[in-house]
Structure 1
Amino acid sequence: MLKPNVFNAQCSTRVVLDRVGDKWAVLILILLHDEPQRFNQLRRRIDGISQKMLSQTLKSLERDGLIRRTAFATVPVTVEYAITPLGRTLHAAVDALRIWAEAHLGEVQKAQARYDSGDAVSEAA
């Protein structure tokens, strides 16, 4: 079986990788893993995300089948977002990335400081 060409913009695998490679999507999936949340709850918990970007990311995740949007007939209407079973399967991979980031943050910061100071040693190809 041929491997998909992930370097091609139309590759279906790349479309999915682009979604899960989005920082906002990853943060939303992590937050929704434990419990459903309302829009403003998510907005308060995700530092730096704009209302527009949160809305766009939630719509994309819903379109991809990773989260579910439920509207409740209240005044005003209450909307809640929850992770789907498909989203839960992706959460394991996303959480592994979070765990790696937390475990290696210090090393990454040291490498960045070395690079920024000009002390980074380039390796010959």
Structure 2
Amino acid sequence: MKIKDLTRAEEQLMQVLWDLDKAFVKEVIEKLPIPKPAYNTVSTIIRILETKGFVGHEAFGKAHQYFPIISKEDYKRFATEKLLDNYFENSVESMFSFFVKEEKMDLSDVDEILKMINKIKNRPR
């Protein structure tokens, strides 16, 4: 299944569902920041997420408990690839240098990345 873009509101609800694993609309609302959106608003957005293939549900009478179908890791991969493709011409180097220039990374972050790279390079194949 092809992953689709999420709106900011859809992504916010997915973050809650990923954290909770399973939840009723009321439980999702409890985890949202103040001002809390209306029940019907959250319910509508969750149904849109279900239509987009991000969420499934289990019925308990009239109530529905929702759960993620798309994992957070899969969406993270999709969003990162999109960012890399649309803004950095598919260049990790370009994206990395952008974050360094914008001071979103400090030397300790760079050191950690270098350690990860060395660990990957030294893995037996």
Q: TM-score, normalised by structure 1?
A: 0.50
The two structures have a TM-score, normalised by structure 2, of 0.50
